[in-house]
Amino acid sequence: MIYFSTNKSSIPVSIKKATLEGLAPDGGLYIPSEIPRFSPEEITLLEGASFNNIAFAIAKKFIDGSVPPDQLSDIIESCYTFDTPIVQLDQNTFVEELFCGPTLAFKDYGARFLARLTGYFAAEEEKLITVLVATSGDTGSAVAYGFQGIANTRVVLLYPSGKVSRLQEQQLTTAGSNVHALEVEGDFDDCQRMVKQAFVDPDLNKSLTLTSANSINISRLIPQSFYYAWATMQLKERFGLHDPLFSVPSGNYGNLTAGVLAKRMGFPIGHFIAASNANDSVTRYIEEGRYEPRPTITTLSTAMDVGNPSNFARLRYFYHNDHDSMAKDITGMSVSDEETIATIRSVHERFDYVMDPHTAVAYRALERFRGNESNAEKAGIALSTAHPVKFLDAIESALGKKIAIPPNLTELMEKKKSATLISSEYRELASFLNRLDE
């Protein structure tokens, strides 16, 4: 298996090089030369398998011998030591809870796998890898904890000042060890722009070996397909349901892209709903066929506040820049903050279930999609990407009551924040990175 750039002007590379580089030299995103397929017989053999066994079966096809099977199995086993519950709300509606990992967010699935794979490859190459990450909240904390203490690596996180929740900021800025936090005076798009500029800065790349742990890194994206495959198997085995809809809270569109990978691999997925907030550039593209990014708008679902999502380049590539082909698989829906709050309340009243704002966006979009009579009876899964406690203010305001905070998070909130404040000028990031070795 080789990987090449969406911009088509870089030399194809191995999974090792794609992982350690993160972004291709031409500024494009790495994609596999072909998406590996599971035959119906192979999928049948996975029935009854554990999450980790399904993850190993998928990873093995993408890694393609670059990591010995026994060591790849060890990586998988060390990554996923937590559950991935499928919670039934009514006969045809489910929530896949992806927040049971150490940072209470779905980013743990990708970040932990990427950290261990990067550490494995870095040790082979005898290199110190600098992991550079732009985050709107949960990516950074997952990466901080995923890479914490991993040999031959160090992490630099860029997050937008004042635009992440306090719990998220505490997770970003208290990891210590080999993790450095940069608080950027700007929004997520500024952070992402700066990271991309660093990867194509020839002077910086002479002195540092840079990689990314954002979903622009293909080895962060691949493991996110694991939980789509798991959900389709669980729905069939436990509930006798097939070809579910997946409603995906969408910001940088890595999560949705991973779902497309799972569907192309052969796992039985019926349709995707790209659930966005007011940052609806991809939603508008799917509806109208024109891609017109706009400045980022701040919303309650902060991790989805992305005006120009990176992974849209991969989506367009997978669909050969054919709008009609993409729209056949994906429906885009934008959900307002007012709808988000109303959904948090109504779901709690109907099911005694508490959703964070991102999950509420996904649930509301699923409801709206199934308002069409032809879709009303289809099984649907809303991906729950963060624990409600990560967004206490929004949840408590919506429900009018206090939410219990787990004891370990209370301890986290009392830790001293450690971050370096910088402007959104790239030169400040470059200066910080050049000082790391001093």
The residues, ordered by sequence, that sit 6+ positions from 427 with a Cβ below 8 Å of its Cβ are none
What are 389-421's pLDDT values in tens digits?
888 888 999 999 888 887 778 888 889 999 999
Please classify residue 74 by burial: count the beta carbons closer than 10 Å to its beta carbon, then call 0-12 exposed, 13-18 middle and 19+ buried: middle
- Average pLDDT value over all residues in the chain: 93
CB-based contact 220:114 (threshold 8 Å) = yes
d(CA 2, CA 24): 13
Q: Which of 107, 163, 196, 390 is catalytic?
A: 107
Q: Which structure tokens are listed for 162?
A: 């004042």
What are 83-138's pLDDT values in tens digits?
999 999 999 999 999 999 988 999 999 999 999 999 999 999 898 999 998 887 77
DSSP state of 310: T
- Can you tell me which residue has the tokens 């290199």? 127
pLDDT at 58 over 70: yes
Give Cα separations from 242 to 48, 296, 377, 409, 430 (angstroms).
15, 37, 12, 38, 50
d(CA 358, CA 300): 8
Of the spans 302-306, 359-363, 411-415, which averages the highest pLDDT?
A: 359-363
Q: Check residue 411 and give its pLDDT.
A: 83
pLDDT at 36 over 70: yes
Give the least confident one: 167-171, 266-270, 377-381, 431-435.
167-171
Cβ–Cβ contacts within 10 Å for residue 320, how many?
8
Q: Which structure tokens are listed for 3?
A: 């990987």
183 or 207, which is more confident:
183
Q: Is 328 a catalytic residue?
A: no
Q: At what angle do helices 337-351 and 392-399 cross, to 10 degrees?
A: 70
d(CA 176, CA 147): 11
Half-sphere exposure of 190 (CA within 13 A, CB side): 20
What are 379-396's pLDDT values in tens digits?
999 999 999 988 888 899
Among candidate residues 359, 364, 360, 404, the one with its CA nearest the CA of residue 385? 359
Q: How confident is the model at residue 438 (pLDDT cuts 50, 70, 90)?
A: low
Q: Are β-strands 330-334 and 271-276 bridged in parallel, bridged antiparallel, or unpaired?
A: parallel
- Look at residue 131 and give its three-state secondary structure: strand
What are 124-165's pLDDT values in tens digits?
989 899 999 888 777 788 888 899 889 899 999 999 999 888
Hey, which CATH number is domain 83-106+223-399, 3.40.50.300, 3.30.450.40, 3.40.640.10, 3.40.50.1100? 3.40.50.1100
DSSP state of 239: I
